[in-house]
Amino acid sequence: MTASDKALALLGTWSRPPDVPAKAALALAALLATLALFGRGRSLLFGLFEGAPLALQRAERRRVIAAVGMGAALLSIAYVASYLRGGPRIIDATTYFLQGRALSRGDFAWAPLDPSASFRGRFLLYTEGGPDGASLGGIFPPGYPLLLAFGFMLGAPMIVGPLLAMGLVAATYLLARALAEETLPALAEPIARAAALLSLSCAALRYHTADTMSHGAAALGVTLALACAARARTAEARRARGADREGGRGEALLAGLAVGYVIATRPASAMPIALVVAWLLGPGLAPAAPAAGPGRARLRLLALALAGTLPGLLLLLLSQRAVTGSWLESTQRLYYAVGDGPPGCFRWGFGAGTGCLFEHGEFVAARLPDGYGIVEAAGTTLRRLHKHLLDVANFEPLAPLVLAPALLGRRHAARGAVLPATALVALQVLAYAPFYFDGDYPGGGARFFADVLPVEHALVMLGVASLVARAPASSASSRAVAASERAFTRGAYAVLALAAAGFAVHGAYEHGKLRDRDGGRPMFEPDVLARASLSSGLVFVDTDHGFALGHDPAARPDARVLVARLRNDDRDRMLFDALDRPPTWLYKLEPPVPPATETTATLTPWAPPESGLALRFEAEAEWPPLAQAGGFAAPVWAGGCASGSRALVLTPEPGRTATATIALPVPAAGRWVVEVHVVHGANVPFAPRPSSPAPPEGTLEVEGERWTWRPEAACAALPVKEVELTPPHARVTLEASNGPIGIDYFSLRKVR
C-alpha cells in the first residue's frame, strides 16, 4: 500500500457531500450549528410547558419522543430507498429474510422438495434423518426472524426495521433519563431528548434499522434491559425507604425478558448485558430494607429477571432442535462444521486452525497465518474499534465522549448506573474479542458493537452535560440555573451539528460503497415479477442472495411463485418434471453497460433442456455436504476443462485422510451406469498446500461400488460401473489423502 492508500484506510474519505442525503445532512448541520452558536432551540430539549402541570409535561414529552421516533423511522425508510435500493443487500440479511418468511408460517425449518440441491446452499443447514425426514433451515438465531415474521404476516417485512428505529429512540430516551436522574437530575429531560436526537442522526443505526440484519433488534433488547434494570434498582432503593411498594419487580421482569430476547437474537451479545443486569440488580449497589434482610429483596429482583430470560432461551432451543435435531447444538457451529474448514474453524476462542478458509479465506490468509492468538485478537479488536469510532456519532472525535460520564462524574458513577453502562460497552468489545473475523463492512460499520450504540448515545449526551454544565444546586440563583441550561443546549446542538456534518462530508462515502456493491441493487426484486404479471410458476435464480430473497418454502407453482436454484444440470429438469412442468422463467442479473453502473434484472421464459440418455449432475451443487471429517469440501473455480469451470474439492488436513458424504440424485429405481468425472489441480484458495511429496489419492464409493485414483490429467473420467440405485438419492462417500481431490460431475445412464 502507498502512503495515500494507508491514509485513506485510516482516515476514510473526506470531501464534498456526494449525494442528496449527504447534502440534506449538511443543511441540517448548518441549522444545528446556528442553534448552538446562538443558544436557541431550548424549548425542543427542555420542553414547551416548563412549569405546567405534570400531566401536561408528560403528554408533551410523549409527543416529542413520538415525533423524533417517527423521524427516525422515516429516515430508515429513506435509507432503504437511497442506499439499499429497495431491499436487503448483505447475504446475512437475505438469509434472515428467508427465515422470517418461513417463521411467518410457523416453521423454524422446512422440508425441501427433491432434488434437494435445488434449494440448498450458503447459510442454509440441511439435515437428514430427523423425526419428520430431511429438513432445511437458516443458520441464524430466531429472535430477529420472529419480528420479520410479523412483518411478513402484514405483507410488509421491510417495515420491521423502521419500527425498530422508533423503538430505539424511545429506549434511548428512557435509558438516558434514568442515567441522568442519578447524576444531573436538573438536566435529565434535555439529556434524554438530546440522546434521542443523536439516535435519529446516527447513520449506522439507520442502516441497521433498514437492512434486515439483527443488530437493530439486539440493540433494542440491550437498551431496554439496561434501562429497566437501572429503574428497578432505583425503585428498590425507594422501597427500602418506604416510598415505593412494588420495589421495581415489574422493571426487573421486563429487564429479564429483554435479556432473553437478546439471547434468542445474538447470544454472544447477551453475555455482557446479562452480567450488567445482574450487577445492577444484585446485592451491593443499593441498601435493602432492613425488614427484608441484607440483599434479600435484591435477590428477588434477580430471580424475577432470571425467570424473564426463559421465554427467549426456550425460543433459541426450539429453533436449534428444529434445524439441527439437537436442543443444544448451535446452528452456525454445525453449518461451518459440515460446510467449511479446517475442522473446528468457526469458534469463539483461540488457537491454530481458527478461521474458516472457504467463507473467510482471504482474511485468514492475511491476518491469521499462524492461528488466532492474543496478538491477533488485539489487532481484530483495534480494527473494529477504528470502524466503530465513526459509527457512534458519524464523526470519530465525538466517540470518546462515551467515557466522559464515568471519568468526570466518578462519585455519581460509582453509586449509580453510569459505571455499569460504561462497563457494558467495554464488555461488548471483550465479548467479541475471541471471535476471529472482523465482521465490518461499509455502511454496517463494526456491526458486532452496533448492539450497544443506543447506550453510547445516552452516555455521549451525559458526557456533554458533564463537560459543559454542572447540576444546579437547589439554592442556586436563577441566573446560574439558566447559564447551566444554556451551556448544555449549546453543547448538545454542537454535537448534533458535528454528527450531521460528519455524515455529509465523511460517513456518506461509506454508505455509498454499500449502495454500489454487488451490482448496486438487490439480487431479487418482486417488482420485476410484478411488471411481468407473474403470480405463479417456477423461477430459477443463480445467486445465493436472490434465492434467499425470493424463495418461499410453502410456495407451489400452481398457486404462487416457487423460486429455485439454477444448477445448469439435470437437477433443473428433474424439478421441472416433478412439478408437472409449470410455466418457468429464468431470473438473471446482467452486468452494467457503461455508462450505467447498476446491473439489470431480466426475467426470461425458459424451460430446462430435455434430458438425454445420460444424466449429468454437478458435484459442487451438493455443497454443503451431508457430513465431513478430517478436512473439508468446498465448491471452487477449477479451470476451463471442468464443466461450468467449477468442481467440488475435498481438502484433507495435513497427515490425515479427509472424508465427505454427499447425495447423488436418482430419478428412478433400477440399475444405472455411473461415470465419475474428476479434476486435477483444483484447490480451495488460501488453503495450505500439501506437505507430502506423494501425489493426492482419491476414493469414491456409491452403494458399495468403489473407485480409487491418483489424478494425472487436468480432467478425466473414471471407469464406468453399474450400480443398483433407488430414489430419491444415493449417498456418495469421498476420501482424499496427500492433497486435495476434485469431483467435476457424475454421469448416470439407466440400463434397466
Positive or negative, the CA dihedral 474, 477, 478, 480 is negative
Domain boundary, last residue among 501, 516, 531:
516
Residues 6+ apart with CB under 8 A from 439: 384, 432, 446, 447, 448
Number of Cβ within 10 Å of residue 381's Cβ equals 20
C-alpha to C-alpha distance for 488 and 467, rounded to whole angstroms: 9
- 125 occurs within a structural domain: no
Domain that holds residue 64: 17-82+140-516
- 130 occurs within a structural domain: no
pLDDT digits (tens, 9 = 90+) for 329-353: 999 999 999 999 999 999 999 999 9
Does residue 511 sit in the same domain as residue 622?
Answer: no
pLDDT at 433: 97
pLDDT at 469: 72
What average pLDDT does range 280-302 have in this prediction?
Answer: 66
Of 45-49, 470-474, 507-511, 585-589, minimum mean pLDDT range: 470-474
Where does the pLDDT of residue 290 fall: very low under 50, low under 70, confident under 90, or very high at 90 and above? Answer: very low
pLDDT at 731: 95
Q: For residues 389-417, b (16+ Cβ closer than 10 Å) or e, as one string?
A: bbbbbbbbebbebbbbbbeebeebbeebb
- 449 occurs within a structural domain: yes
Where does the pLDDT of residue 291 fall: very low under 50, low under 70, confident under 90, or very high at 90 and above? Answer: very low
Number of Cβ within 10 Å of residue 695's Cβ equals 12
The C-alpha cell 421441472 sits at: 576
Number of domains in the chain: 2
> How many helices and strands (H and E) does the chain possess?
26, 20
Does residue 72 sit in the same domain as residue 207?
Answer: yes
Does residue 512 sit in the same domain as residue 635?
Answer: no
The C-alpha cell 450505467 sits at: 596
The DSSP 8-state label assigned to residue 295 in this structure reads T
Q: What percent of the chain has pLDDT over 90?
A: 81
Does residue 402 contact residue 460 with C-beta atoms inside 8 Å?
yes
- 305 occurs within a structural domain: yes
Where does the pLDDT of residue 71 fall: very low under 50, low under 70, confident under 90, or very high at 90 and above? Answer: very high
All cell numbers assigned to 334: 454445525
pLDDT digits (tens, 9 = 90+) for 413-454: 556 899 999 999 999 999 999 999 999 999 999 999 999 999
pLDDT digits (tens, 9 = 90+) for 633-686: 999 998 788 999 999 999 999 989 999 999 999 999 999 999 999 999 899 999
pLDDT at 1: 65
Domain boundary, last residue among 456, 486, 516:
516
- 77 occurs within a structural domain: yes
What average pLDDT does range 528-549 have in this prediction?
Answer: 97
pLDDT at 48: 64
Residue 545 has pLDDT above 90, yes or no: yes
* Closest by Cα among 391, 86, 101 to 211: 86
- 575 occurs within a structural domain: no
Does residue 469 contact residue 387 with C-beta atoms inside 8 Å?
no
Domain boundary, last residue among 516, 537, 572:
516
Does residue 288 sit in the same domain as residue 404?
Answer: yes
All cell numbers assigned to 126: 440441511
| String of DSSP letters for 357-423 | TTTSHHHHHHH-TT-B-HHHHHHHHHHHHHHHHHHHHSSGGGGGGGGHHHHH-HHHHHHSSHHHHHH
Residue 184 C-alpha from the chain's centroid: 36
- 443 occurs within a structural domain: yes
Judged on CB neighbours under 10 Å (0-12, 13-18, 19+), 735 is buried
The pTM (predicted TM-score) of the whole model is: 0.95
Does residue 512 sit in the same domain as residue 622?
Answer: no
Q: What percent of the chain has pLDDT over 70?
A: 94
pLDDT digits (tens, 9 = 90+) for 674-724: 999 999 989 999 998 887 788 999 999 999 999 999 988 889 999 999 999
- 104 occurs within a structural domain: no
**Average model confidence (pLDDT) across the chain:** 92
* CATH code at position 707: 2.60.120.260
